[in-house]
Structure 1
Amino acid sequence: MTDVTEQSAETGAAGGSFPELLRLDEIDKNLFRGSCHAGAPLRAFGGQVAAQALTSAGRTVGADRAVHSLHGYFIRPGDPRRPIVYEVERVRDGRSYTTRRVLAVQRGEAIFTLSASFKEPEAGAERQRSAPVVTPPDELPDPYVAWAASDPEGYAQSAAARTLQMRFVPAGSPGLPPELPGMPQQFVWLRSATPLPEDDALLHVCALTYLSDLTLASTTAMHLQSPRFRRQEPPRLTLASLDHAMWFHRPFRADEWLLFAQRSPSSSDGRGLAIGEFYDTRGTLVASAVQEALVRERRTPPEG
């Protein structure tokens, strides 16, 4: 479980670029070691853990096979002060498909587990859901500018702008699809802040895995932030990624703008479900993501 309570832009901080964020040392065959920054105080950012686990799996697969899906479970909070060891199991190498399992370990205990499938490309008939027509990213404000102005010291320490760029599409913007009852939604443009190598498809996929964990959990709790649910003292939310799945449909570049269209169809039993789709600026559906998150309200007990 990766706690993202009051998740700040520090999640995009340490390292300064995706090649650095995803760098791993190969310490033995099928064994890798990496380090992750915090997403919340003393909690490793789950998106980076998942992206490094996928990187380790990809390092054991030939370049002719691209990852098409991943399924991960966050088991324990990772400690950003300690390295993480990734143990890769080569489950299957078939004619067209390759399967890998990865166990992320700290202090001898599993903190995350990942299954990933890779395949050779093949031709076939295509179709896709149409992309929503929203305000383009170059017409939206940069949230990091406001952050730098209000907290220059924190912004300088995080170096978030060197890692990723984000643009939030305001609710009610022209072109947004109508929000269905009981299904809050948000739309965010995302990309790497620095160019990535053109010939490293695995790096782009792992960078998108990192980016996909930034806002899905918050989508599950949007109903708790609406005026209908506000109190005089707004509850402090605890959000934590429980599991995460992705499907990669078509080639893309993570250093070009991608629209993350997110919706949450359910929240109950202290858990919320969010689904998301990534579209490039041409409207091509390149990836989908689903996440279940822990959603809890933490209220301050009354004085006296």
Structure 2
Amino acid sequence: MATDLMNPPRLSFVELMKLERLESNEKGNGNEGTGREEEKFMSVNPAYSPGFGASYGGHVFAQAVWAAAQTVGGDGERGMCVHNVHGFFTLPAFPDRPYVYTITHLSEGRSYCTREVKVQQPTTSPPSIPFKPQDLEKNLGKVCFTSMVSFKRDEELGPNHQTEEGYEKKYEEVLKGKDPWDWPRLPRVDAPWYYRHIKQHPQPNDFPGLDVRKVDMRTYNANYQPQDYRQLQLYTPLGSLTSNPNLHACAHLYASDRNSVFVVSNATKIGDNIKAMGSLSHSVVFHGNSTDLLIREGEWRCQESRTPRSGNGRGVVESRIWNGKSHVASTWQEGQLRWTDKVGEMRQMNTFREGLRRKAKL
């Protein structure tokens, strides 16, 4: 049975996404004479780190949208709700310093509006936690993430279609007789070497914000080629969410990056041979109205992932996010994926082990 040590208290999703508004320094921001307004926000709580010294990319991806949502007015129900996000990871980000989000207003329409988000972190090492806004302006590093975010107002329902009626019937043999909490929590690293490691050295699952469960698909995938590989993960927020649909959308975004490029390494069976792995870009389109995004307390959602293509040091992950029979979002993610057959170059595994050694010396 899981112990409190193995499942420690974790930050709620509302706390994880919390922001502090900063004073914008309009002078020298590059927008003089353009009529484009800027607003700035700073993260309050540290991002999760899987153990490689870098932050979990889903944090900045989701929080960038939440920051942009603060600039569109309304509560998302009668106002603007996110429907389209395109993000690019340009540099590794670090969990020991805050994110600073600069939001540029690109357009203001009656039905749609768009925002550009630039994200930077202080270069001082290490800044204090909890984070403080002092000296952020003069010590910000290069842009580590940038995104375009589009918001829209709800519209009356018209003709609509989707390719399948839910995921439960398709994967009935896998899911039969199982509740979401019957599946194990997704570990820090979804790679064979990490499963061997935690079997010998159990570690607490401290992923914040969401409870994410990985459905065991090994029997389903046993005789499939990489392009036919499928992975299901089920998720629910930790703690209650506010009524703002934009916050619920951010929970979907936070979950959508959780296993990302590991889907490619598992499908191609190179998980023990990773030389370099990381997200390059991530895009999500929400298909319904704002009410379709809501996750009520106790409800679970499903992400169904596949990889149509990999090679040349990269891989692509596509996924659909389901609310029962309703296909509520589609995602496309490209990641760096380099492999090696030399033990000394298996950086993912070696970097994690080096981190453990350093912790042991503290």
TM normalised by structure 2 equals 0.69
CA distance in 2, matches of 1:28, 1:222: 45
Match of 1:8 in 2: none
Which secondary structure does the structure 2 equivalent of 1:109 belong to? Answer: coil
Q: How many angstroms does 1:144 deviate by?
A: 3.6
Q: Between the two proteins, what is the percent identity of the paired residues?
A: 27
1:130-178 Cα offsets, whole Å, 9 max, x none, are: 123221650673324999x9689731xx5337732314142335xx9x9
TM-align CA RMSD: 2.9
Aligned ranges 1:234-245 → 2 under 5 Å: 234-236=272-274, 238-245=276-283
Query: Structure 1 residues 79 and 61 mapped into 2: Cα distance closer, same or farther (>3 Å)?
Result: same
Query: Structure 1 residues 162 and 290 mapped into 2: Cα distance closer, same or farther (>3 Å)?
Result: closer
Which secondary structure does the structure 2 equivalent of 1:50 belong to? Answer: helix
Match of 1:246 in 2: 284
Match of 1:187 in 2: 232
Amino acid at match of 1:99: T
1:103-150 Cα offsets, whole Å, 9 max, x none, are: 001233100001000011112211112123221650673324999x96
CA distance in 1, matches of 2:186, 2:89: 32
Q: Is the 8 A contact 2:263 2:317 kept in 1?
A: yes
Equivalent of residue 95 in structure 1, options 110, 117, 126: 110
Match of 1:210 in 2: 254
1:84-103 Cα offsets, whole Å, 9 max, x none, are: 11000000001210000000
Please tell me whether Structure 1 or Structure 2 has the larger radius of gyration of its CA atoms.
2
Equivalent of residue 88 in structure 2, options 48, 73, 79: 73
TM normalised by structure 1 equals 0.81
Match of 1:259 in 2: 302
Which secondary structure does the structure 1 equivalent of 2:318 belong to? Answer: strand
Q: Is the 8 A contact 2:54 2:94 kept in 1?
A: yes
Q: Which has the higher strand share?
A: 1
Which secondary structure does the structure 2 equivalent of 1:116 belong to? Answer: strand
Amino acid at match of 2:285: W
Q: How many angstroms does 1:14 deviate by?
A: 9.1
Match of 2:241 in 1: 196
CA distance in 1, matches of 2:273, 2:70: 43
CA distance in 1, matches of 2:185, 2:153: 39
Equivalent of residue 159 in structure 1, options 206, 218, 223: 206
Aligned ranges 1:136-151 → 2 under 5 Å: 138=179, 141-144=182-185
Match of 2:49 in 1: 38
Q: How many angstroms does 1:276 deviate by?
A: 0.2
CA distance in 2, matches of 1:14, 1:54: 26
Mark the runs of 5 or more structure 1 residues left unpaired by the alignment. 1-11
